[in-house]
Amino acid sequence: MEYISLQNIGLVTGFLLILTGLYGALTNKNILRIIVSFTIFDAGLNLVIVALSYMKGRVAPIIDKTTGIHHLSDKFVDPVPQALVLTSIVIGVGVTGVMLTYALKMFKTRQSLDIKDFKETKW
């Protein structure tokens, strides 16, 4: 029973999402499906980072009437991973947009989204 904590639930969900995303990116042949797999991988990674900063009995790092302004480092969870994940989500959006644009361009040149039709850069 000691393994069932909120942090472990978050970690396991994140790990499963990471493995699902990696499996999808390695097995699918359609470019759009690969892009969706990468976004699933991204979501899992962000979930793991946030779950690692969780501590039992502590609250989100926002000062209000219930927390007061004294001894805050004994009441708050770690704000740094949350700030990092904020950055990571925004960069994920940018990368996904660029990937989708490449996919559109590739479809325009070959009328196909199957990576088997693009062999020029294959080694």
Partner 1 sequence: MYKNLFIIVILAGLGILLGRFLLTHHENTSLPELPAYYTDNADHEVGAANVVTAVVVTYRGFDTLGEVTILFVAASLIAMFLKNGLVRKERDPRPSSVILSTAQKLLFPLIVLFGVYVFANGHLTPGGGFQGGAIIATGFLLLLMANPQAEFKHGLFNSIESISGISYVVIGILGAILGLGFLDNRFLPLGHLGRLFSAGAIPVIYSLIGLKVGAELSNILHHLNEVQNEE
d(CA 25, CA 99): 13
Shortest spacing between CB 22 and partner 1, in angstroms: 6
Nearest to 92 by CA among 42, 44, 50: 42
Residue bearing tokens 């004294």: 70
Shortest spacing between CB 26 and partner 1, in angstroms: 5
User: What letter would DSSP give residue 61?
Assistant: S
φ, ψ (nearest 5 deg) of residue 49: -65, -45
Please tell me whether residue 98 binds partner 1 under the rule CB under 8 A.
yes
Region from 31-39, 65-73, 114-122 binding partner 1, contact rule CB under 8 A? 65-73
d(CA 88, CA 111): 33
Please tell me whether residue 2 binds partner 1 under the rule CB under 8 A.
no
Q: Which residues contribute to the site for partner 1 (CB under 8 A)?
A: 3, 5, 7-8, 11-12, 15, 18-19, 22-23, 26-27, 54-56, 60-64, 69, 71-74, 76, 78-80, 82-83, 86-87, 89-91, 93-95, 97-98, 100-102, 104-105
